[in-house]
Amino acid sequence: MAEVPGPPLRVLLAGGGTAGHVNPLLATAATLAGDDGAEITVLGTEAGLEHTLVPAAGYPLRIVPRVPLPRRPSADLLRLPGRLRAAVRAADVAITETAAEVVVGFGGYVATPAYLAARRLGVPVVVHEQNARPGLANRLGARWAAVVALTFPSTELRAARGRTEVTGLPLRPAVATLVADRATTDGATGRRVAGAAELGLNPDLPTLLVTGGSLGAQRLNEAVAGAANALAGAGVQVLHLTGRGKDEAVRATLAGAGREAADRYHVREYLPAMEHAYACADLVLCRSGAGTVSELAALGLPAVYVPLPFGNGEQRLNAADVVAAGGGVLVEDAELTPAWVAREVVALLSDPQALARRGAAAAGVGPRDGAARLAALVREAARGAGRG
């Protein structure tokens, strides 16, 4: 007798604010909904990227009040208990009304009330930490999580009572497709030619991709644009994503460069479909956010990582495993100058064999199927809580 399928798994995903939280959340949602027909609800705020990206992806969004956690005594610290209670109540309602069987948190302001409400209701929690240095919310959630999933093996976060697994980062579907296509020479070549056509590039030239993220990075912009003549002289083509509102300064620098440099230097503020740029790139010069590091490693793309010079040192740690494996080079923000780019980046792009070895080393760091691995852990947590 054929087995009768049970009702779809009901999952509440909590995370938002930045692309670093929203992108892996949406990748996991797509895998759970596509592979299992799971019913997905997302918990977010009105201010984060999730407010537009989640409905655009077709998932219902439940709103909770944003509750920043002050790191020093202030008036916000006095208001924290009341704000947190309101957020936990909103998360409690979302879990109850959707009959969620598992809560999956990706960190950020939304995750803390979701974890607290799930614990009170007895709903299993799965934590995904994308950064090498875990945030406050996920450190809290790990205390009673059924599973803690890590992007990087070196991350110092463990489930106090459950399991800890290295899943890698759930990749955006477009990037995951590119990873699969690049597995063969013909596939990689086809995607490179198609991406170059999309972006107006020459697929036959060694290509440097420069990106500081959607907001850009002034240091990267100044250093690479200032080395335009040296890069062009070495036969290098540049695709430079400056960040919104930062392209004019780069264009002004290029106005003083030679004609050949200007012809081979392509400037854009932002590129939503980053898979086209990745498909064309031989080397990437970028910050080292967790998402960027994970995507480049999965794609086998060597990179020059320039960690943010402020904050808690998280970006340096994100790149540590790939750099140690030989899949990338790390340079301090203050050391990234036009002269450094002209010397070091030109040398890297002038040795295709060495670049290929670095790419292979990057590809060997961490899993490439993070969304599938995390989805499997979510199903396991549901079974552990009594689901058939």
pLDDT at 21: 87
Helix, strand, or coil here: 4? coil
pLDDT at 72: 61
Residue 310 confidence class, pLDDT cut points 50, 70, 90: confident
Q: Convert the pLDDT of each residue in 128-138 to its tens digit.
A: 999 999 988 99
Q: Judge if 50 and 186 occupy the same domain.
A: no
Q: Judge if 203 and 164 occupy the same domain.
A: no
The percent of residues above 90 in pLDDT, for the chain, comes to: 78
Q: Convert the pLDDT of each residue in 317-326 to its tens digit.
A: 999 999 999 9
Give the CA-trace dihedral at 257, 262, 264, 269, to 10 degrees. Answer: 110
Q: Judge if 118 and 77 occupy the same domain.
A: yes
In a domain, 3, yes or no: no
In a domain, 312, yes or no: yes
pLDDT at 190: 98
In a domain, 125, yes or no: yes
Q: Judge if 218 and 165 occupy the same domain.
A: no
Compute the average pLDDT of residues 60-81: 71
In a domain, 338, yes or no: yes
Locate 98 and state its tokens: 């959707």
Compute the average pLDDT of residues 90-115: 95
* C-alpha dist (Å) from residue 70 to 40, 74, 109, 123, 347: 31, 7, 11, 28, 45
Q: Judge if 36 and 57 occupy the same domain.
A: yes
Compute the average pLDDT of residues 215-242: 94
Q: Convert the pLDDT of each residue in 264-301 to its tens digit.
A: 999 999 898 999 999 999 999 999 999 999 999 999 99
Q: Judge if 199 and 232 occupy the same domain.
A: yes
Q: Judge if 153 and 231 occupy the same domain.
A: no
Helix, strand, or coil here: 134? coil
Higher-scoring residue by pLDDT: 92, 36: 92
Q: Judge if 100 and 20 occupy the same domain.
A: yes
pLDDT at 3: 47
Q: Judge if 273 and 304 occupy the same domain.
A: yes
Distance CA 115, CA 56 (A): 25
Residue 2 confidence class, pLDDT cut points 50, 70, 90: very low
In a domain, 221, yes or no: yes
In a domain, 187, yes or no: yes
260 is in which domain, residue-wise? 174-363
CATH code, domain with 234: 3.40.50.2000
Q: Judge if 372 and 358 occupy the same domain.
A: no
In a domain, 15, yes or no: yes
**Confidence (pTM):** 0.90
Counting DSSP H helices and E strands in the chain, the numbers are 18, 13
In a domain, 1, yes or no: no
Q: Is the predicted pLDDT of residue 251 greater than 90, yes or no? A: yes
Instruction: Identify whether the C-beta of residue 132 lies closer than 8 Å to the C-beta of residue 307.
Output: no
pLDDT at 320: 94
Q: Judge if 257 and 130 occupy the same domain.
A: no
Based on the structure, what is the number of domains in the chain? 2
Higher-scoring residue by pLDDT: 325, 77: 325
Q: Judge if 348 and 237 occupy the same domain.
A: yes
Q: Which residue has the tokens 């692309």?
A: 19
pLDDT at 192: 98
